[in-house]
Amino acid sequence: MKTSAKIRVMLVDDHFAILMGLRACLKPEGDIAVIAEAADGGEAIEQYRAHLPDITLMDLSLPRLDGVAAIRTICREFPEARIIALTTRQGDDDIHQALSAGARSYVMKNMPRQEMLRAIRAVHDGQEYLPQEVQTALLQHEKRAPLTPRELEVIRLLARGCSNKEIGMALGIAEITAKIHVSHLLSKMGVLDRSQAVMEALRHGIIHLDGSV
């Protein structure tokens, strides 16, 4: 990886206003320079190859190729890559996926400017940087048994407001079997009803507002 007097940073986000805000956040810092930008996962990979930044701030919700996939691809090709996942998502599944893909830190877009700068400098120094709330979410992830592929299908359908009959039709199973799946899912998640299951799934990042997993 290239080195220089300044920390060379690449910004990856598909929202122009976010990019402008990040630029404004970093511009006053004498030891940091923004040297590249990208608006989707595929472009992020291309720009990384072209510029070899010291630090990459990578949004997770990207078009064309999402941030986790882009992180995984970059880290596979460049094991020394130092990537900070930058997101609005607080779900523990999202945190786990980003870190498993190779991110060295996971920070929120609305975090205080000084904490963002601490993350950049810590990761540049070879450290992992996880805010306290992220560490807490990771502990919750470890305590919670992962959902099976079928359970993920069921929770996604519940998020769409599907009845047991509709879930059965979507999965090609009997309505009574769908009912059993839903019952087991509620028990596993420790909730009383479908609404609570969906809210918990959203809170943990198992599904997102568009119903995706």
Query: Quick count: other Cβ atoms within 10 Å of Cβ 100?
Result: 11
pTM above 0.75, yes or no: no
Band of the pLDDT at 19, cuts 50, 70, 90? very high
Residues 121 and 174 in one domain: no
**Amino acid letter, 90:** Q
**Cα distances (angstroms) measured from residue 198 to each of 95, 145, 159:** 19, 16, 6
Q: Is residue 210 part of a domain?
A: no
Residue 181 lies in domain: 149-203
Vertex 103: Cα angle to 42 and 150 (nearest 5) = 80
Q: Look at residue 174 and tell me whether its pLDDT is greater than 60.
A: yes
Q: 38-65 pLDDT, tens per residue? A: 999 999 999 999 999 999 999 998 988 9
Domain boundary among 141, 158, 176: 141
Q: In what order do the strands lie in the sheet containing 105-108?
A: 32-38, 7-12, 55-59, 83-87, 105-108
Cα separation, 128 vs 153, in Å, equals 33
Q: Give the model's pLDDT for residue 22.
A: 93
Who has greater pLDDT, 120 or 132? 120
Q: Which of 111, 117, 113 is nearest to 134 (CA)?
A: 111
Cα separation, 17 vs 171, in Å, equals 41
| Highest-pLDDT range among 66-75, 80-89, 149-158, 184-193 | 66-75
Q: How many domains does one find in the chain? A: 2
Q: Look at residue 209 and tell me whether its pLDDT is greater than 70.
A: no
Q: Look at residue 99 and tell me whether its pLDDT is greater than 90.
A: no
Domain boundary among 88, 113, 141: 141
| Highest-pLDDT range among 4-8, 21-25, 86-90 | 21-25
Tokens of 144: 């919670």
Q: Look at residue 129 and tell me whether its pLDDT is greater than 90.
A: no
* Bridge partners for 12 per DSSP: 38, 58
Residues 98 and 191 in one domain: no
Q: Give the model's pLDDT for residue 136.
A: 64
Q: Is residue 211 part of a domain?
A: no
Who has greater pLDDT, 77 or 135? 77
Tokens of 154: 């069921």
Tokens of 85: 């996942």
CATH code for the domain of 68: 3.40.50.2300
Q: Is residue 213 part of a domain?
A: no
